Structure 1
Amino acid sequence: MAIAQPALPKAKVAPWNDPVIRGWFFQIVVIGAVTLLAWYLVSNTLDNLHRQKIATGFDYLGREAGFEIGDTMIPYSPADTYARAIFVGMLNTLRVAILGIILATILGTLIGIGRLSPNWLLSRICEWYVEAFRNVPLLLWLFLFYKVISEAFPGPRQAISLLWDTIFLSNRGLYFPVPFAHDVHSWMGLGLLVGIAVAWSISRWAKARQAATGQPFPTIWAGIGAIIGLPLLIWLFGGAPLDFSVPHIKGFNFEGGTVIQPEFTALLLGLVVYTSAFIAEIVRSGILALHKGQSEAAYSLGLSRSQATRLVLLPQALRVIVPPMTSQYLNITKNSSLAIAIGYPDLVASVNVTINQTGQAVENVLIIMAAYLTVSLSISLFMNWYNRRIALKER
């Protein structure tokens, strides 16, 4: 029969030697020190602003802005408020950032795959592309692209006419027709969203069907049909309106239609080619991280090089590619603030004009910081979710 051993008395430890108590103590001290420092900086800043008779607060956002914005996604006039002017600049930043992320991902992936091509000329061209664009500062590329675009094309009166005098290319931008506003357009937008949801559902159903039966399904064509077909059917049932606003020269510029301005083109082009060079190296390293047996197994099954890359290598390389790709997406968003150097009216440009007119620099800088922080955290959250979704599930 086992005899229970008496429990040893617990050694007494002085409070200052207890690691738990000591850890809580130092954390409280650090938090208190940071809070005091923040309180000192804020109170000192407010006192200095009050002494210099500079207004504080965000009441100015409701006042009339009084300045033009050359490129807008929503209606805007100088009679609108500072808040709307800043919102217009934020939309311009989001537009170039989202398009830049999409185009840089596509181009960078193609360049990265091209660097691994057995074709010597193609791989050397891709290598030169990467080395040229990633080793020169982005700001210099923006200056170069803007200068080329603004000087390579003629003025509006001598604009290059395309497609039966409906599209015009000049140093003011690319002018092209747009349909007049119609009630059916909002329904077409709703149909587009429904089509995207249907395409996503078809993709999930096709994957489950193939896993269960081994039979493939033309997911891509079905998705394209849903995304394009639904808005097209709505347009047909809505009377198929074909009234367009066509650009035409009037005075020293064009009227009608819409325009892609050279500042936007130069900024988007600079962000895409610069960031795609980094993405290309990420894609190349992700594919090289895979064991060569993966490609050999794909070739032994009779897959072509493009099929092996698309169906075998890239899906596995995503687990290596996604984390560093997140950093490049954040860089595109933050580097878009260089737009002010070539005159594109982004968030920073709108806020700079607001600072010059109101003198409230602290509040406006906080708005810029909060906007970029929100966008960057949103991108990070989405990419982290996607990274967890494609990660290997451990038992």
Structure 2
Amino acid sequence: MTKRPQQTRHIGWRSKTFRGLFYQALLLSLCVAGVWYLTHNTLLNMSARGIQSGWGFLRDSAGFDISESAIPYDALDPYWKAFLVGILNTVRVAVVGIVAATVLGTLLGVGRLSSNAIVRGFCYAYVELFRNVPVLLQLLMWYLFLTEALPSLDQAISFGGIALLSKDGLTLPVPVWKLGHATAGIGVVLGLIVAALYRRAARRHFETTGRQRSMVWLPIVIVACGGLVGWLIGGAPSAWSIPKVDGMLVQGGVPVTPEFLGVSLGLVLYTTAFIAEVVRAGLNAVAHGQSEAAASLGLPRHQAIRLVVLPQAMRVIIPPMTSQYLNLTKNSSLAVAIGYPDIVSVANTSLNQTGRAVECIAIIMAVYLTTSLSTSMFMNWYNRRAAIKER
């Protein structure tokens, strides 16, 4: 048997691999040189005009208050802490908006395909109304409603004596923090770990034997039992702080400002309309024969959608859904129009006080770039897990 002569690999311009690496390195070098030139030129022009630059101002006292903060903050705190408060406020709006818009959008998307004409018509009217009204106008509309149409604090609307709604916002009951709440949280985390291990074992069992264990409700039960056991170990605390009107103030509870309510309602209702259309398109992308097959097995329509149609539609739904999440996060920058202290509002105030325009704008860009890339990475990972794998 004669041996084939080994082909020599060319390391030079004739190599396609070498040319590809060379062009990539050249493009990267040009990008770095362009960024360096723009930065150097900007610093020279700022220096020539007597404009200060640098990041040292972040250690100086901010000197302004922030109306709401997730962490303790005072006007004497440095600028970096003020920016941190703005970042947390932005993330809070984005997370609440994404969760609420996903739930409502999925329900409306399924409702668009309902056999009930009233439900189908309502969902259609909602989508056409809210997606065709500019989001900034919706933010202003909800904020004006919350601050003008609602009653004053002394005539606040009470929900069962445990929550209050007025021009000052919404005040909700909150548990009085005890050790049992911490142990309950630990129990929930352990329950999530056990539930994840159970789902993995059930999936392997199905791949090995072809028989699927009932695993729809059991993971939820495991997590709930973990939290319950932790709560009991911590002494089963049950005290709640209930809001009550005391003169011109509300004692107890946790307040939700009208600014946060306005921006949350505006972003959620606006994004829900687009998510509903994404879900409707994804469900329509699944072959009608799948629904017929589920019906032939005796599955009710809601179970056929949840167990058969929706899992297959996810590969179509997830990519455009990611775009809607990114849009919601970036649209939260419009919250400055109604006075919500997000990162844009904090950066504008800091810019006016310090004159560090480049630095403040760079922080805003870095925050939105980081949150958007993080959301994209998570959704891409989830898309790979949800994708149908051909065998």
Q: Above 0.5 in TM-score?
A: yes
Maintained 8 Å contact 2:184/2:234: no
Secondary structure of the corresponding residue to residue 219 of structure 1: coil
The one-letter amino acid paired with 1:144 is: M
Q: What's 2:314 paired with?
A: 318
- C-alpha RMSD over aligned residues: 2.7
Post-superposition shift, 1:33? 4.3
Q: What's 1:11 paired with?
A: none
Post-superposition shift, 1:219? 3.4
Query: Measured at CA, do residues 18 and 207 of structure 1 come closer, stay the same or move farther in structure 2, by a change above 3 Å?
Result: closer
Query: Measured at CA, do residues 108 and 347 of structure 1 come closer, stay the same or move farther in structure 2, by a change above 3 Å?
Result: same
Q: What's 1:89 paired with?
A: 86
Q: How far does the alpha carbon of each residue in 1:23-52 deviate from its partner, in whole angstroms, 9 at most, with x for none?
A: 777666655544443233211211222223
Whether 2:51 is the aligned partner of 1:58: answer: no
Post-superposition shift, 1:152? 2.1
Q: What's 2:133 paired with?
A: 136
| Equivalent position to 1:301, from 292, 297, 301 | 297
Whether 2:186 is the aligned partner of 1:190: answer: yes
Q: What's 1:334 paired with?
A: 330
Q: How far does the alpha carbon of each residue in 1:289-329 deviate from its partner, in whole angstroms, 9 at most, with x for none?
A: 12211111111111111111111100001111111111111
Whether 2:242 is the aligned partner of 1:280: answer: no
Q: Any stretches of 5+ residues in structure 2 without a counterpart?
A: 5-12
Query: Measured at CA, do residues 357 and 273 of structure 1 come closer, stay the same or move farther in structure 2, by a change above 3 Å?
Result: same
CA distance in 1, matches of 2:143, 2:72: 26
Query: Measured at CA, do residues 237 and 67 of structure 1 come closer, stay the same or move farther in structure 2, by a change above 3 Å?
Result: same
Post-superposition shift, 1:331? 0.9
Maintained 8 Å contact 2:181/2:237: no
| Equivalent position to 1:48, from 41, 45, 49 | 45
TM-score, normalising length from structure 2?
0.89
Query: Measured at CA, do residues 189 and 66 of structure 1 come closer, stay the same or move farther in structure 2, by a change above 3 Å?
Result: farther
Maintained 8 Å contact 1:206/1:219: no
The one-letter amino acid paired with 2:363 is: I
TM-score, normalising length from structure 1?
0.88
CA distance in 1, matches of 2:77, 2:344: 18
Maintained 8 Å contact 1:202/1:219: no
Post-superposition shift, 1:122? 1.4
Q: Which moved more, 1:314-323 or 1:178-187?
A: 178-187
CA distance in 1, matches of 2:239, 2:204: 44
1:1-395 paired onto structure 2 within 5 Å: 30-164=27-161, 166-209=162-205, 212=209, 214=211, 216-217=213-214, 219-220=216-217, 222-394=218-390
Secondary structure of the corresponding residue to residue 228 of structure 1: helix
- How many aligned residue pairs are there? 382
Maintained 8 Å contact 1:173/1:260: yes
The sequence identity of aligned pairs, in percent, is 50
Q: What's 1:9 paired with?
A: none
Q: Any stretches of 5+ residues in structure 1 without a counterpart?
A: 5-14
CA distance in 2, matches of 1:186, 1:351: 35
Q: Which moved more, 1:383-392 or 1:303-312?
A: 383-392
Query: Measured at CA, do residues 352 and 251 of structure 1 come closer, stay the same or move farther in structure 2, by a change above 3 Å?
Result: farther
The one-letter amino acid paired with 2:354 is: T
The one-letter amino acid paired with 1:45 is: T
The one-letter amino acid paired with 1:360 is: R
The one-letter amino acid paired with 1:107 is: L
Secondary structure of the corresponding residue to residue 344 of structure 1: coil
Q: Which moved more, 1:320-329 or 1:350-359?
A: 350-359
Higher Cα Rg: structure 1 or 2? 1
